[in-house]
Amino acid sequence: MKRVVQVRLLPTPEQTSALADTLHTCNAAASWLSEQMHASRVFRKFDVQKRFYTELRERFGLAAQPAIRVIAKTANAYTTLHANLTAGNYGPPGSDQRRKVEQTPVAFRPVAGQPFDARCLSWQFGDASHEVTVSIWTVAGRLRHLRVAGHPGHLAVLRSRSIGETDLIWRDGVWLLHAVVESPEAARLAPVNGFLGVDLGIVNIATTSDGDRMSGSRLNRYRKRQQRIRTRLQARRTSSARRLLKKRRRRERRFAADMNHQISKRIVAEAERTGRGIAVEQLTGIRARVRLRKPQRATLHSWAFAQLGRYLAYKAEQAGTAFVQVDPAYTSQECHCCSWTEKKNRRSQASFVCGRCGFVGHADYNAACNIARRGVACWGEVTRPHAAPTLAAS
């Protein structure tokens, strides 16, 4: 499986200037190429390379391999754009938003990240575990012995694994490298003791079928506080307020990501310890399905539904734990004891009272039990062998 490792570059002022010029040149080249692709309606990487490679190099002074990476970066951006259009993420055909997206070429920020492969960026590891440098191509020539700093565990992973593509990123005055490494997959173990169901929500971020609830009150309080601070700073409209807004713009995202990491690690550890798999709801498109009042929309749209699911998926894969996504329909209205499904069973956000068997319990726990049961059925569908063909009697 692939894993992304983040480390920090420690360039000198002269090296910093060369790296900045490289990002500006590569992104200017990508924006120009995007306009040519959009005007000529040519989007396949091979066709783009055949048609614009020579002019791209001559116009922006790129070396051969960086020019190839710019072409691949732009072609991948259009592949993502067309996938979003096909999925309807920009509205139905004929809508104003979709028409605007289709008529506008993709543009790249001057400091957007730039991918490098082994021909453009190489790693050197010294005798000490912390001695790591890179050699990277720039428009001012190749920079050698560029120092790298990072978490000791991340540096150990880079030292022991095969490194693939690496992205050069400038963020808040800091130069970063995002390296893709190949990590060995753990042997997937069969869920001999069933599945651990996980119900995701806003009041309780995650509730398991064991009855464990990870409350979202701390995160919700933090988000409300950040919203109050942003509102107050935006109302001032001063240069110092704008600087503070820019400085604080990633705090809430980092806080939520850290909480999701902790929750997913705890759930995967429990499933691995008890020999069970993990079953979660398939929440794709929840923002388009769910209708809420205006005060509740900000809470729904700021909650990282997909992020927690991704963290659970890759941590389960690393641990060799089975992971499935089940249909979420009526999990909050169905009684896990007698399977009686009725809207009135869900008395409130936290209360569940079955109208048939009389089961009383927490609504999120009941939903997690339903998800666990559906996980067993879903796993059976995944692992069921193909039926042998029936031969007609001669």
Residue with token string 């480390």: 7
pLDDT score recorded for residue 378: 86
What does the pLDDT look like over 272-321, one tens digit per residue?
999 999 999 887 665 555 565 665 655 555 566 778 888 999 899 889 99
pLDDT surpasses 80 at 44: yes
Give how far the C-alpha of residue 90 lies from the chain's centroid of Cα atoms, to the nearest Å. 19
pLDDT surpasses 90 at 149: yes
Report the amino acid identity of residue 124.
Q
Q: CA 389, 393, 394 angle in degrees (round to 5)?
A: 125
Question: Can you read off the two tokens belonging to residue 104?
Answer: 């506008």
pLDDT score recorded for residue 298: 59
The pLDDT > 90 percentage for the chain reads 55
Query: Nearest to residue 189, comparing CAs of 262, 62, 278, 123?
Result: 278
Range(s) for CATH 3.30.420 in the chain?
A: 195-217+251-383
What does the pLDDT look like over 311-321, one tens digit per residue?
999 899 889 99
pLDDT, mean of residues 236-250:
87
pLDDT score recorded for residue 174: 93
Query: Nearest to residue 336, comparing CAs of 355, 319, 359?
Result: 359
pLDDT score recorded for residue 296: 60
Could you tell me where the beta strands, DSSP code E, fall in the chain?
2-10, 114-116, 121-125, 132-138, 141-149, 163-171, 174-182, 195-200, 204-208, 213-215, 277-281, 323-326, 351-353, 360-362
Helix (H) or strand (E) holding 36: helix 13-40
DSSP 129: T
If DSSP states are collapsed to H, E and C, what string results for 164-205? EEEEEEEECCEEEEEEEEECCCCCCCCCCCCEEEEEECCCEE
pLDDT surpasses 50 at 389: no
pLDDT score recorded for residue 394: 33
Please give the class, per CATH, of domain 195-217+251-383.
alpha beta
Q: How far apart are CA 267 and CA 248, in angstroms?
A: 30
Neighbours of 200 (CB within 10 A): 25
Q: How far apart are CA 381 and CA 394, in angstroms?
A: 33
pLDDT band at 126 (very low <50, low <70, confident <90, very high): confident
175 half-sphere exposure, CB direction, 13 A CA radius: 22
101 half-sphere exposure, CB direction, 13 A CA radius: 20
pLDDT score recorded for residue 295: 59
**pTM to 2 decimal places:** 0.78
pLDDT score recorded for residue 301: 59
pLDDT band at 76 (very low <50, low <70, confident <90, very high): very high
- Please provide the average confidence, as pLDDT, over all residues in the chain: 88
